[in-house]
Amino acid sequence: MATAAELPLERRDYFTDRSLLVDPYAYFEAIRKEGPVHRADNGVYFVTGFREAVDILLDSEHYSSFYTQLGPMAPLPFEPEGDDISDQIAAARDPNSMSELLVAYDGEQHANARALLSRLFIPSRLRANEEFMWAFAGELVDGAVAKGGCELINEIATPYVTLVIADLLGVPAEDREAFRKVIDEGPPAGDLASKDQPKESQALMYMAQFFMRYVAERRAQPREDVMSELSNANYPDGTQPDALEVVKSSMFLFAAGQDTSAKLLGNAMQRVARDKDLQARLRADYKLIPAFLEETLRLEGSTKATFRLVKKPTRVGGVDLAPGDRVVVALAAANRDPMRWENPGEFEMGRRKIMEHIGFGRGAHTCLGAPLARVEVRVIFERFFEKTSDISLGEEHLGPGGVVTLDYEPSFIIRGLETLNLRLAPA
Top-confidence residue, 68 or 338: 338
In whole angstroms, give the CA distance from residue 140 to residue 216.
33
pLDDT mean over 266-273? 98
Mean pLDDT of the residues in the chain:
90
121 contacts: CB under 8 Å, gap ≥ 6 = 368, 369, 371, 372
Q: Residue 139, SS3? A: helix
Q: Residue 171, SS3? A: coil
Give residue 3's pLDDT: 65
Top-confidence residue, 282 or 187: 282
- pLDDT tens digits, residue range 133-158? 999 999 999 999 999 999 999 999 99
pLDDT mean over 104-114? 89
- pLDDT tens digits, residue range 307-345? 999 999 999 999 999 999 999 999 999 999 999 999 999
In whole angstroms, give the CA distance from residue 10 to residue 69.
24
Listed range (44-48, 76-80, 265-269, 296-300) with the worst mean pLDDT: 76-80
- Read off the pLDDT band of 5 (50, 70, 90): low
| Residue 182 contacts residue 159 (beta carbons within 8 Å) | no
Q: Residue 315, SS3? A: strand
Asked if the model's pLDDT at residue 185 lies above 90, the reply is: no
Instruction: Tell me whether strands 45-47 and 326-329 are parallel, antiparallel or unpaired.
Output: parallel
- pLDDT tens digits, residue range 8-50? 898 999 999 999 999 999 999 999 999 999 999 999 999 999 9
* DSSP output for 324-353: T-EEEE-HHHHTT-TTTSSSTTS--TT-TT
Angle between helix axes 261-274 and 158-169 (nearest 10 degrees) is 140
Residue type, 305: A
- Which CATH code, of 1.10.10.60, 1.10.630.10, 1.20.1740.10, 3.30.1330.10, is assigned to 118-300+390-426? 1.10.630.10
Q: Out of 174-178, 196-200, 388-392, give the one with best mean pLDDT.
A: 388-392
Q: Residue 316, SS3? A: strand
pLDDT mean over 392-403? 91
- Read off the pLDDT band of 192 (50, 70, 90): very low
Give residue 348's pLDDT: 97
Top-confidence residue, 125 or 98: 125
Residue type, 171: V
- pLDDT tens digits, residue range 380-390? 999 999 999 99
32 contacts: CB under 8 Å, gap ≥ 6 = 38, 48, 49, 333, 337
Asked if the model's pLDDT at residue 278 lies above 80, the reply is: yes
Q: Which helix (H) or strand (E) holds 213?
A: helix 199-220
* Percent of the chain surpassing pLDDT 70: 92
pTM for the model stands at: 0.91
Give residue 193's pLDDT: 44
- Read off the pLDDT band of 354 (50, 70, 90): very high
In whole angstroms, give the CA distance from residue 173 to residue 298.
36
Asked if the model's pLDDT at residue 201 lies above 60, the reply is: no
How remote is the C-alpha of 154 from its chain's centroid? Answer: 16
| Residue 249 contacts residue 102 (beta carbons within 8 Å) | yes
In whole angstroms, give the CA distance from residue 281 to residue 288.
8
| Residue 170 contacts residue 226 (beta carbons within 8 Å) | yes
How remote is the C-alpha of 212 from its chain's centroid? Answer: 24
In whole angstroms, give the CA distance from residue 247 to residue 36.
39
Dihedral through CA 305, CA 420, CA 181, CA 207, nearest 10? 0
In whole angstroms, give the CA distance from residue 129 to residue 55.
34
Give residue 194's pLDDT: 42
In whole angstroms, give the CA distance from residue 223 to residue 211.
15
In whole angstroms, give the CA distance from residue 130 to residue 321.
45
Top-confidence residue, 206 or 35: 35
Task: Mark 91-119 as b/e (b = at least 16 C-beta within 10 Å).
Answer: eeeeeeeebbbbbbbbeebbebbbebbee
- Read off the pLDDT band of 211 (50, 70, 90): confident
293 contacts: CB under 8 Å, gap ≥ 6 = 264, 268, 374, 377, 378, 381
Angle between helix axes 289-300 and 370-387 (nearest 10 degrees) is 120
Top-confidence residue, 98 or 237: 237
- Read off the pLDDT band of 268 (50, 70, 90): very high
In whole angstroms, give the CA distance from residue 402 to residue 397.
9
| Residue 418 contacts residue 380 (beta carbons within 8 Å) | no
| Residue 296 contacts residue 267 (beta carbons within 8 Å) | yes
